[in-house]
């Protein structure tokens, strides 16, 4: 697989180079030069396959020039150790639960795959690789857990002080070993800017063998295509046109859905559902793309003012805004509306969404008010509600049983390095 830069100013690179550098030399994001379609036999037999089988089939096609069959089998074995069940609430209303991994959020899929792939490369290179990741909460958790104990890799997680939930914080500040948490006196955009500056700093990037585990890394996106396809498999052989509603922040998840669609997955429409950080919905509604400072919300993993994967979305439609608008419906919601969605769903179906999934549900509901025709609507539930008890329990009035993944965090002690919010602070720390 050759990958080009969305800025079109540097030449295409190998998959390995793209994974190890994260960002292209010209500042763009890497995109596959071509996304192979899965063959007719794969689609015909889809409803008989489970998640691991689909993962094996898709990764074998995408990464056939990169890894042997044995290596791909090992990646699938390492990563897909938990399921992504489709829960039906109603005729035509389904929830794709992506929160059964070790950090109870969908980012486990991408982070674990990236760790498995990087472990192959670190072994080959015989030198240490450093990973920098900025997080608004869940990325740090998934990446830290995915990479904890992986030989030859050091991870630095930058997170905004006081702006991630206590539980999220515990997930990446208690691991120790090859994982270091950096507590930045600023917001998520500061963290992201600092990480970008470190990559632009050639001397440092070269010295530390720096790469990134944010959703800008292509190794994070590929495995996320798989659960979209698996969702369709779970609908069975006969289903209505499929609409996916994707609660979005940096838009990696939605981009992966679009990529799955490009490989032949039949999808009628994607819904880009956001909180008040509504840069992409505004664009889809006819405005221009205007990055804005991020606003805080109760769906804090989506508090992103300048979504980096937007450049990839544009590429997938060859720059045509019209085609993008035809395929993606945009919607955004206030915290009150998000709370309302949690309440509605609980009252109607006795199902508990976390605030992120609830934004996705609200998006699907709004979309259905606008477009007629029967569909199978699938809401991506990106996090487990037990990660956000402060918000959820006060609305539903029902305690959420704490999954084992969270219960064990209670006794663990936080270790984080306090840092200012300028690149010089980061540079001084990394040396
Ligand atoms: C990261 C995250 C999102 C946003 O995903 P993107 O790929 O950045 O759009 C949504 N929900 C949860 C729970 C997340 O952790």
pLDDT reading at 68 higher than 70:
yes
pLDDT reading at 117 higher than 80:
yes
Length of the chain: 431
Q: From the CA of 328, how far away is ligand 1's center (Å)?
A: 17
The answer to whether the CB of 103 is under 6 A from ligand 1 is no
Q: From the CA of 49, how far away is ligand 1's center (Å)?
A: 26
Listed range (173-182, 224-233, 398-407) with the worst mean pLDDT? 398-407
pLDDT reading at 252 higher than 80:
yes
Q: Give the position of tokens 């508990």.
A: 352
Mean pLDDT of 252-263: 98
Q: From the CA of 224, how far away is ligand 1's center (Å)?
A: 12
What tokens were used for 17? Answer: 């180079």
Mean pLDDT of 148-168: 91
pLDDT confidence of residue 188: 86
pLDDT reading at 124 higher than 80:
no
371 compared with 248, residue with greater pLDDT: 248
**Spatial contact of 133 and 157, defined as CB atoms under 8 Å apart:** yes
Nearest CA to ligand 1 atom 2: 301
pLDDT reading at 11 higher than 80:
yes
DSSP code of 248?
A: -
pLDDT reading at 125 higher than 70:
no
**Spatial contact of 406 and 394, defined as CB atoms under 8 Å apart:** no
pLDDT digits (tens, 9 = 90+) for 346-397: 999 999 999 999 999 999 999 999 988 899 999 999 999 998 998 999 999 9
Q: From the CA of 302, how far away is ligand 1's center (Å)?
A: 6
In ligand 1, the atom with minimum distance to the C-alpha of 137 is 15
Quick count: other Cβ atoms within 10 Å of Cβ 394?
10
What tokens were used for 420? Answer: 């200012």
pLDDT reading at 248 higher than 90:
yes
Q: Whole-number mean pLDDT of the chain?
A: 94
Mutate to test the pocket of ligand 1, among 188, 191, 248 (most ligand atoms within 8 A of CB): 248
The answer to whether the CB of 302 is under 6 A from ligand 1 is yes
pLDDT digits (tens, 9 = 90+) for 321-357: 999 999 999 999 999 999 999 999 999 999 999 999 9
pLDDT reading at 226 higher than 70:
yes
Q: For residues 14 and 7, what is the distance between their CA atoms, to the nearest angstrom?
A: 17
Q: Give the position of tokens 């990479």.
A: 147
pLDDT confidence of residue 165: 82
pLDDT confidence of residue 122: 81
Q: Give the position of tokens 């539930």.
A: 381
The answer to whether the CB of 169 is under 6 A from ligand 1 is no
Mean pLDDT of 122-141: 83
281 compared with 34, residue with greater pLDDT: 281
Q: From the CA of 357, how far away is ligand 1's center (Å)?
A: 10
Q: Categorize the per-residue pLDDT at 286 as very low, low, confident or very high, splitting at 50, 70 and 90.
A: very high
Q: From the CA of 101, how far away is ligand 1's center (Å)?
A: 15
In ligand 1, the atom with minimum distance to the C-alpha of 387 is 13
- Radius of gyration of the chain from its Cα atoms, rounded to whole angstroms: 20
The answer to whether the CB of 382 is under 6 A from ligand 1 is yes
User: Does the predicted model carry a pTM greater than 0.95?
Assistant: no
pLDDT confidence of residue 371: 84
Q: Categorize the per-residue pLDDT at 31 as very low, low, confident or very high, splitting at 50, 70 and 90.
A: very high
The answer to whether the CB of 360 is under 6 A from ligand 1 is no
Q: From the CA of 123, how far away is ligand 1's center (Å)?
A: 30
The answer to whether the CB of 301 is under 6 A from ligand 1 is yes
Percentage with pLDDT > 90 across the chain: 82
The answer to whether the CB of 249 is under 6 A from ligand 1 is yes
The answer to whether the CB of 115 is under 6 A from ligand 1 is no
Q: From the CA of 125, how far away is ligand 1's center (Å)?
A: 32
Q: Categorize the per-residue pLDDT at 154 as very low, low, confident or very high, splitting at 50, 70 and 90.
A: very high
């Amino acid at each position: 697989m050759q990958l080009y830069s969305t800025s079109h100013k540097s030449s295409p690179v190998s998959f390995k180079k793209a994974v190890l550098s994260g960002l292209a030399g010209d500042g763009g994001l890497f995109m596959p030069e071509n996304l192979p379609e899965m063959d007719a036999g794969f689609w015909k037999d889809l409803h008989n396959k489970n998640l691991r089988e689909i993962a094996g089939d898709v990764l074998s096609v995408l990464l056939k020039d990169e890894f042997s069959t044995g290596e791909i089998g090992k990646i699938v074995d390492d990563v897909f150790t938990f399921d992504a069940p489709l829960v039906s609430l109603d005729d035509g209303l389904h929830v794709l639960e992506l929160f059964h991994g070790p950090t109870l959020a969908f980012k486990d899929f991408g982070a674990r795959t990236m760790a498995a792939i990087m472990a192959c490369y670190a072994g080959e290179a015989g030198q240490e690789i450093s990973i920098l990741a900025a997080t608004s909460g869940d990325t740090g958790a998934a990446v830290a857990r995915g990479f904890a104990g992986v030989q030859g890799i050091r991870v630095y997680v930058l997170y905004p002080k006081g702006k991630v939930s206590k539980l999220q914080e515990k997930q990446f500040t208690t691991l120790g070993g090859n994982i270091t948490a950096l507590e930045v006196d600023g917001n998520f955009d500061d963290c992201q800017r600092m990480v970008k500056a470190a990559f632009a700093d050639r001397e440092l990037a070269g010295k530390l063998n720096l790469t990134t585990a944010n959703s800008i890394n292509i190794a994070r996106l590929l495995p996320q295509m798989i659960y979209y396809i698996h969702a369709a498999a779970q609908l069975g052989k006969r289903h209505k046109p499929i609409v996916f509603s994707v609660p979005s922040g940096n838009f990696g998840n939605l981009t992966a859905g679009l990529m799955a669609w490009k490989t032949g997955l039949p999808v009628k429409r994607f819904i880009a559902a956001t909180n008040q950080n509504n840069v992409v919905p505004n664009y889809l509604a006819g405005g221009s793309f205007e990055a804005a400072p991020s606003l805080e919300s109760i769906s804090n993993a989506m508090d992103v003012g300048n979504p980096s994967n937007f450049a990839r979305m544009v590429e997938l439609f060859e720059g045509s805004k019209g085609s993008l608008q035809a395929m993606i419906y945009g919607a955004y919601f206030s915290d009150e509306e998000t709370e309302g969605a949690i309440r509605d769903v609980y009252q109607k179906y006795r199902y508990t969404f976390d605030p992120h999934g609830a934004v996705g549900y609200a998006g699907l509901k709004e979309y259905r008010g606008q477009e007629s025709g029967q569909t199978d609507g699938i809401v991506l539930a990106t996090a487990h509600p037990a990660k956000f008890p402060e918000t959820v329990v006060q609305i539903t009035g029902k305690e959420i049983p704490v999954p084992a993944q969270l219960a064990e965090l209670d006794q663990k002690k936080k270790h984080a390095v306090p840092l200012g919010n300028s690149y010089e602070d980061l540079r001084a720390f990394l040396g």
